[in-house]
Amino acid sequence: MGRVLVKKKLAGCANYWPIESIYHWQGKLVKDKEFILIVKTVKSKFGQIEAKVKKLHSYQVPCIIALPVSKVSQKYFNWLKGEIK
Protein backbone atom coordinates (compact mmCIF):
# COMPACT_ATOMS: atom_id res chain seq x y z
CA MET A 1 0.00 0.00 0.00
CA GLY A 2 2.77 2.41 0.87
CA ARG A 3 4.44 1.83 -2.48
CA VAL A 4 1.17 2.52 -4.33
CA LEU A 5 0.51 5.73 -2.40
CA VAL A 6 4.02 7.07 -3.03
CA LYS A 7 4.03 5.96 -6.68
CA LYS A 8 0.69 7.70 -7.28
CA LYS A 9 2.10 10.87 -5.66
CA LEU A 10 -0.50 10.85 -2.87
CA ALA A 11 2.31 10.62 -0.30
CA GLY A 12 5.92 11.68 -0.20
CA CYS A 13 7.00 8.80 2.02
CA ALA A 14 5.58 5.71 3.71
CA ASN A 15 7.02 3.72 6.64
CA TYR A 16 5.82 0.29 7.71
CA TRP A 17 6.70 -2.42 10.18
CA PRO A 18 5.09 -5.63 11.51
CA ILE A 19 3.18 -5.72 14.79
CA GLU A 20 0.89 -8.07 16.70
CA SER A 21 -2.61 -6.83 17.48
CA ILE A 22 -5.42 -8.00 19.75
CA TYR A 23 -8.95 -6.83 19.05
CA HIS A 24 -12.59 -7.90 19.03
CA TRP A 25 -14.07 -8.73 15.64
CA GLN A 26 -17.51 -10.19 15.06
CA GLY A 27 -17.84 -11.25 18.69
CA LYS A 28 -14.48 -12.98 18.92
CA LEU A 29 -11.18 -11.95 20.46
CA VAL A 30 -8.60 -11.97 17.67
CA LYS A 31 -4.81 -11.97 17.90
CA ASP A 32 -3.32 -11.20 14.52
CA LYS A 33 -0.12 -10.17 12.79
CA GLU A 34 -0.54 -6.84 11.05
CA PHE A 35 1.53 -3.97 9.69
CA ILE A 36 1.53 -0.35 10.79
CA LEU A 37 1.74 2.02 7.84
CA ILE A 38 2.62 5.67 8.38
CA VAL A 39 1.93 7.81 5.34
CA LYS A 40 3.52 11.24 5.14
CA THR A 41 1.33 13.55 3.11
CA VAL A 42 -0.72 16.76 3.27
CA LYS A 43 -4.19 17.17 4.76
CA SER A 44 -5.87 17.67 1.38
CA LYS A 45 -4.90 14.13 0.28
CA PHE A 46 -6.62 12.31 3.17
CA GLY A 47 -9.80 11.49 1.23
CA GLN A 48 -7.92 10.05 -1.74
CA ILE A 49 -5.63 8.03 0.53
CA GLU A 50 -8.58 6.74 2.54
CA ALA A 51 -10.33 5.59 -0.65
CA LYS A 52 -7.20 3.88 -1.99
CA VAL A 53 -6.46 2.10 1.31
CA LYS A 54 -10.08 0.86 1.54
CA LYS A 55 -9.79 -0.48 -2.01
CA LEU A 56 -6.46 -2.26 -1.41
CA HIS A 57 -6.85 -3.43 2.21
CA SER A 58 -8.05 -6.94 3.04
CA TYR A 59 -9.99 -5.75 6.14
CA GLN A 60 -13.61 -4.63 5.99
CA VAL A 61 -12.77 -1.84 8.46
CA PRO A 62 -9.11 -0.83 8.15
CA CYS A 63 -7.74 1.62 10.71
CA ILE A 64 -7.18 4.91 8.87
CA ILE A 65 -6.31 7.81 11.16
CA ALA A 66 -4.97 11.32 10.53
CA LEU A 67 -2.91 12.76 13.36
CA PRO A 68 -2.31 16.48 13.81
CA VAL A 69 1.23 17.69 13.32
CA SER A 70 2.20 20.54 15.57
CA LYS A 71 5.57 21.26 13.95
CA VAL A 72 7.54 20.18 10.91
CA SER A 73 10.83 21.46 9.55
CA GLN A 74 10.25 23.82 6.64
CA LYS A 75 12.79 22.05 4.41
CA TYR A 76 11.09 18.69 4.93
CA PHE A 77 7.62 20.16 4.36
CA ASN A 78 8.79 21.84 1.14
CA TRP A 79 10.24 18.53 -0.05
CA LEU A 80 7.02 16.69 0.88
CA LYS A 81 4.81 19.14 -0.98
CA GLY A 82 7.09 18.80 -4.01
CA GLU A 83 6.61 15.02 -4.04
CA ILE A 84 2.81 15.14 -3.93
CA LYS A 85 0.54 15.98 -6.88
Domain ranges of the chain: 2-83
Q: Which CATH class is domain 2-83?
A: alpha beta
Share of the chain above pLDDT 70, in %: 100
- Distance (Å) of CA 73 to CA 16, 47, 57: 22, 24, 31
Per-residue model confidence as pLDDT tens digits over 34-70: 999 999 999 999 999 999 999 999 999 999 999 999 9
pLDDT of residue 61: 95
pLDDT of residue 20: 98
pLDDT of residue 85: 85
Predicted structure pTM score: 0.90
Helix spans in the chain (H): 2-7, 46-56, 74-83
